[in-house]
Chain A
Amino acid sequence: ILNVEQSPQSLHVQEGDSTNFTCSFPSSNFYALHWYRWETAKSPEALFVMTLNGDEKKKGRISATLNTKEGYSYLYIKGSQPEDSATYLCALGYNFNKFYFGSGTKLNVKP
């Protein structure tokens, strides 16, 4: 079992604050990293897929970077809004038939 670590476990910010959190993973035999957003009572929603070292992806106010050599990815949210409140999961593909999730960062944005 591979250890995918996300930090912090939870985060409380005020509306308008920018924030970021981390996904750390073993870098050997890396295939792809996915970020998902999981709102309570809904299905996880794919945000980004990144495969190459140095990849940067952006979707609106959310962006992500990837460093496969040192084994980490950052997810950034600029100007957080209450609707950004969710659990953000990272998931790593190593062997093509297995997929390892972190335990998530739970974000709460206060109006």
Chain B
Amino acid sequence: SQTIHQWPATLVQPVGSPLSLECTVEGTSNPNLYWYRQAAGRGLQLLFYSVGIGQISSEVPQNLSASRPQDRQFILSSKKLLLSDSGFYLCAWSAFPGGSNQPQHFGDGTRLSIL
């Protein structure tokens, strides 16, 4: 069966520091991968998605970036964190080729607090 790993679970970072969050998927090949951010009490905001190695689509202009160095690895990065980057970061995957009927499955998330 497929599993998705996301780490760390919690992270406290000072303003202006760099960020690297990692997500890996097991048990499937060539998945679609996603990064979402959820502010407290809010819905999910799609940040990036990828349909293949090196293919990244950015949804929201910001100081974050994403990379997919390997088929089942998705990394979210920032060179300088802002206070507004605080939130719950979720990685998700869906099967490829997806067609229109493939659901997304989420990792356990990283709770990021910026001080």
Partners in one complex: no
